[in-house]
Structure 1
Amino acid sequence: MKHINLFLMLCVLCIAVYGISACSKEENHKPDTDQSIPAPEPEPDNYTLQGTMQAAEQLVGKNYSEIHKYMRSYGWDYSEHPNSSDKDHNDGIHCEVVYDKIIQQYVFKFIIHANAEILDGDRGKLEDRQRNEMKTQTTAAWYKLNGNWDEWQRLEWKFRIPKDFRPSTNFCHIHQLKAQEGNNGSPLITITPRCNSNGSNRRIQVIHTGDKSATNKGTIIDNLPLSDFEDEWIQVETEMHYTHNGSFSIKMTRISDGKILVNKSFSDIDMWRKGAISIRNKYGIYRSFGRNMDGVDDRPTNGIKDETLQLADFKIYEKNTNPNLESHD
């Protein structure tokens, strides 16, 4: 009898264990209702990549002529710098290619001089400003890199300015959108470091200039602390609709920590120039002396000094392409 009771108890125990195991398996196969459903992929924005350029190892140690030749093969050029004239600082180094360990690629390093021995000018002229810039070409083969009437364009690039970069109360542009033809005096958009006369309040501005004074918006972004940018790689993304009632947006992200330093959009903004065919994109250092120089030994008194600017990873996208490349008012 004892053996029968023991057998029955073992049977009951086995049934209980099996039941618990079955329930556990059933629970494991239940859908996880707390798990979020993945968001759908965003719809394509209809942009087409029109051009891209990075610096290359083959340019290390090469002079401005080789850098210019390389850039031209991608639709940009390097022709507005002190080496371009024997009346300027044409035996100095104003652009070189170096390897950057942070973004792990070769980059363009622009160099401009303002010291007791050397003062770079503007393509052979030593007057009230100096220039060291690269830009997109405006030949027919490369119109696709420029903004044409009623087109949408998106630009992406990276830049790094050094610690203690010293702007002034005057203009100091590190990026410009500028008409090639027609009313091509002032740029449409600039990214401009600025400071007070005593060097305080060092900041980044974004400035807009309309086709006429009535459509100027002036400084549309101000007081981005320069300290947030110094010695940091910054990813820039801009988007433009090139009409008189166009749009402009800009996003700048610090790569080291992903902090978004600015992300703003502007609608109903004049993004064209009367008589223009194309709007070039320019990068480098273009800055004022604050006054006209009295001679080759005169020096600016607005606080500027030798500076560098590193540039990398240029990309240009376009949509609503305009096939009729002619001047437009």
Structure 2
Amino acid sequence: MKNLKTTNALFGCMALLAIACTTKTAVDGPDGPADPNEGYQLTTTLESNASMPGQNYSAINTFMKTYGFDYSEHPNCSGGYGGHPDGVHCDTELDPDLNKYVFRFNIHIDPVIDGDRCSSGTVDRQRNEMKSATNNTTWAKIQGNWDEWQVLEWKFKLPQGFQPTSSFCHIHQLKAQDGPNNGSPLITITPRANSNGSNKRIQIIHSVDGASTGKGTIVDNIPLADFENEWVQVREEMHYTHNGSYSCKIIRIRDGKVLIDFKDENIDLWRSGASYIRNKYGIYRSLAGGKLNQDPVGQSPLLKNESLWLTDVKVYEKNTNPNPGQAHD
């Protein structure tokens, strides 16, 4: 009887071990960690190629539209408020580290102070961004629609000595396209510095309708030095509801160092009255207290020519909204 009990106990332990092993295999897979995008559908991929170096902004826009993005928010405009029609604000370069063609976004103080699409209403800022196409019929699959889950992946690089302002200097935005509260972005990745240019850091900021559900700066004091002249891989995951989820992981490609690993599973991730959330990339920065129509323009030493390199933009979604484009409170 004692041997029978011992045998049964042994079989029980083996069964529990088998269950544990099976569970691990299902989570991690036989060849390593599970694909974090399992269950998602890849809806688009954007990267440049050898045909794009030297192309003007119109050709870049046409190219990006093929993949569901557009390049319409740039300073290549004519007007008295920061128009710089002859400037090269986006180009393609062959990157020696990645050994592939990548986009380079530029914002200028010299020889011309770039503005915000020649707008007379926003003379205190500069904008040079690409974004998901503002068409939620053809390109609903790359927008964040109500109750959908979305993953955004991309690589970017900031130059050595990149100098943020003490005010906003966004390099990525999640922003409602429409609705009564679409002025401020929902989520931003924001380099920032003190007013004297010190304490250069990366932040992630959350804002919702100006309501108490906005959490403000949710990631702060990530040293900008860890990003300078380094390619990094970004993965964002969102569940677009008022009781939503947001995560962001940024890994430095050269050595695999995790620079940011943030997750919040109870965050308001919608703008009331919006029909969808678009994703944006580039440089959108304040003139740090200055205006295009004043002299001097902006705050020194925080303003100088800056660049951002971008490639491998991928969009995934699951739980697809069957009626995208309908406004939701």
TM-score normalized by the length of structure 2: 0.85
Query: How many residue pairs end up in the alignment?
Result: 293
Match of 1:225 among 206, 220, 223: 223
- The alignment status of 1:328 with 2:323, answered yes or no, reads no
Q: Is the CA contact (8 Å cut-off) linking 2:68 and 2:139 kept in structure 1? A: yes
The answer for unaligned runs of 5 or more in structure 1 is 1-35
- Provide the secondary structure at the position in 1 that maps to 2:139: helix
Q: Which amino acid aligns with 2:327?
A: S
Match of 1:113 among 108, 112, 134: 108
Structure 1 residues 294 and 284 mapped into 2: Cα distance closer, same or farther (>3 Å)?
closer
What do the CA deviations read for 1:248-275 (whole angstroms, capped 9, x no partner)? Answer: 0000000000101111101210100111
Q: Which amino acid aligns with 1:327?
A: A
Q: Is the CA contact (8 Å cut-off) linking 1:160 and 1:309 kept in structure 2? A: yes
Q: Is the CA contact (8 Å cut-off) linking 1:138 and 1:278 kept in structure 2? A: no
With 293-302 and 37-46 compared, the bigger mean Cα shift is at 37-46
- Provide the secondary structure at the position in 2 that maps to 1:166: coil
Q: Shift of residue 168 of structure 1?
A: 1.4
Match of 1:60 among 42, 53, 60: 53
With 120-129 and 145-154 compared, the bigger mean Cα shift is at 120-129
Q: Shift of residue 104 of structure 1?
A: 1.1
Matching residue of 2:7? none
Matching residue of 2:10? none
- Provide the secondary structure at the position in 2 that maps to 1:67: helix
Structure 1 residues 294 and 100 mapped into 2: Cα distance closer, same or farther (>3 Å)?
closer
With 132-141 and 36-45 compared, the bigger mean Cα shift is at 36-45
- The alignment status of 1:155 with 2:152, answered yes or no, reads yes
Aligned mates of 1:209, 1:294 — CA distance in 2: 27
Aligned mates of 1:247, 1:327 — CA distance in 2: 20
Matching residue of 1:196? 194
Within a 5 Å distance, the mapping from 1:24-173 to structure 2 comes to: 40-41=29-30, 42=34, 45-87=38-80, 88-115=83-110, 117-125=111-119, 127-139=123-135, 140-173=137-170
Aligned mates of 2:286, 2:249 — CA distance in 1: 26
Matching residue of 1:317? 316
Q: Is the CA contact (8 Å cut-off) linking 2:290 and 2:297 kept in structure 1? A: no
With 118-127 and 52-61 compared, the bigger mean Cα shift is at 118-127
Within a 5 Å distance, the mapping from 1:168-179 to structure 2 comes to: 168-179=165-176
Aligned mates of 2:177, 2:75 — CA distance in 1: 21
Within a 5 Å distance, the mapping from 1:287-306 to structure 2 comes to: 287-293=285-291, 295=293, 298-302=296-300, 303-306=302-305
Matching residue of 1:30? none
What do the CA deviations read for 1:220-255 (whole angstroms, capped 9, x no partner)? Answer: 000110000000001000000000110100000000
With 292-301 and 265-274 compared, the bigger mean Cα shift is at 292-301
What do the CA deviations read for 1:48-88 (whole angstroms, capped 9, x no partner)? Answer: 00111111110111111110100011100000000044440
Aligned mates of 2:138, 2:311 — CA distance in 1: 23
Q: Which amino acid aligns with 1:230?
A: E
- The alignment status of 1:237 with 2:235, answered yes or no, reads yes
Structure 1 residues 59 and 297 mapped into 2: Cα distance closer, same or farther (>3 Å)?
farther
Aligned mates of 2:202, 2:29 — CA distance in 1: 37
Q: Shift of residue 290 of structure 1?
A: 2.1
Within a 5 Å distance, the mapping from 1:16-31 to structure 2 comes to: none
Q: Is the CA contact (8 Å cut-off) linking 2:61 and 2:72 kept in structure 1? A: yes
What do the CA deviations read for 1:155-203 (whole angstroms, capped 9, x no partner)? Answer: 0000000000001110000000000011211101000000111111100
Rg larger for: 1
Aligned mates of 1:283, 1:85 — CA distance in 2: 23
Between the two proteins, what is the percent identity of the paired residues?
55
The answer for unaligned runs of 5 or more in structure 2 is 1-20
Aligned mates of 2:124, 2:79 — CA distance in 1: 18
Structure 1 residues 86 and 70 mapped into 2: Cα distance closer, same or farther (>3 Å)?
farther
Q: Which amino acid aligns with 1:105?
A: K
CA RMSD between the two structures: 1.8
Q: Is the CA contact (8 Å cut-off) linking 1:155 and 1:315 kept in structure 2? A: yes
Structure 1 residues 275 and 85 mapped into 2: Cα distance closer, same or farther (>3 Å)?
farther
